[in-house]
Amino acid sequence: MKNSKITRKITQGMYVLTVKGGGCVVDAVARVGSRDDAPLISVAVAKANHSHQLLAENEKFALSVIGEQTDPEVIQVFGFNCSKDCDKLAKIETIEVEDVPVAKATLGYMILEKIDAIDMGTHTLYIGKLIEGDIFSDDEPMSYVYYQEHKDDLTRITTKRINPPGFVRPVAIFIMARQYLMIINVRSVDSVKSISRKKINY
């Protein structure tokens, strides 16, 4: 294979899939036909994702379109955490539409009724029929290429400083000063803000 990254150039967007209990970021979304005058949308969901199980348990799900101005926190929460360990729907504001949670901080949503699930090995291709939809803003939809070009900024996670109890600071200063005097390799215990990046494949 000369360069498999050519698949990243397939023009596709960035979406938040939400379903009762959680959801995840997806880019493998396509309009694939229509039935009873309603568009059919496909989405490929990895079997390893908890959202896969949630989708198997529910008849309806939502796809919200991520815009270029959408808060990157939405991508961080839904794209880099598992719904099993983290209540994503509590972290990101949602509204209920057709009994489905929908991420509010996006440019709009589609509510889809599951009509088929095709086994693709590592993924299941879910096909949904559009039963409701709305547009919140005229923001530019984020393309997957845009995400790739800006992902250093979009996936930067800043952790807030937690104020320690009053006595901790003098004790920490003492320990650090002692270490310095003993010419021990001094490493900062805590920095005002730390930035961590998760390893990503997308």
Ligand X SMILES: Cc1cc2nc3c(=O)[nH]c(=O)nc-3n(C[C@H](O)[C@H](O)[C@H](O)COP(=O)(O)O)c2cc1C
Site residues for ligand X per CB under 6 A? 22, 24-28, 44-46, 49-51, 79-83, 147, 200, 202
Please, which residue, 80 or 136, has the CB nearer to ligand X?
80
Query: What's the min distance (Å) between Cβ of 169 and ligand X?
Result: 37
Query: What's the min distance (Å) between Cβ of 134 and ligand X?
Result: 23
Please, which residue, 25 or 130, has the CB nearer to ligand X?
25
Please, which residue, 28 or 38, has the CB nearer to ligand X?
28
Query: What's the min distance (Å) between Cβ of 45 and ligand X?
Result: 4
Please, which residue, 122 or 185, has the CB nearer to ligand X?
122
Please, which residue, 4 or 185, has the CB nearer to ligand X?
4
Query: What's the min distance (Å) between Cβ of 187 and ligand X?
Result: 31
Query: What's the min distance (Å) between Cβ of 82 and ligand X?
Result: 4
DSSP string, the chain: ---GGGGGGS--B-EEEEETTEEEEE--EEEEEEETTEEEEEEEEETTSHHHHHHHH-SEEEEEEPBTTS-THHHHHHHSS-TTTS-HHHHS-EEEETTEEEESSSSEEEEEEEEEEEE-SSEEEEEEEEEEEEE---PPBPBHHHHHHHHHHHT-EEEPPPPPPTTHHHHHHHHHHHHHHTT-----S--SSEEE------
User: How far are the Cα atoms of 90, 117, 165 from residue 168, in angstroms, in the given order?
Assistant: 32, 55, 6
**Closest Cα partner for 10 from 120, 147, 154, 124?**
147
Please, which residue, 38 or 56, has the CB nearer to ligand X?
56
Query: What's the min distance (Å) between Cβ of 170 and ligand X?
Result: 41
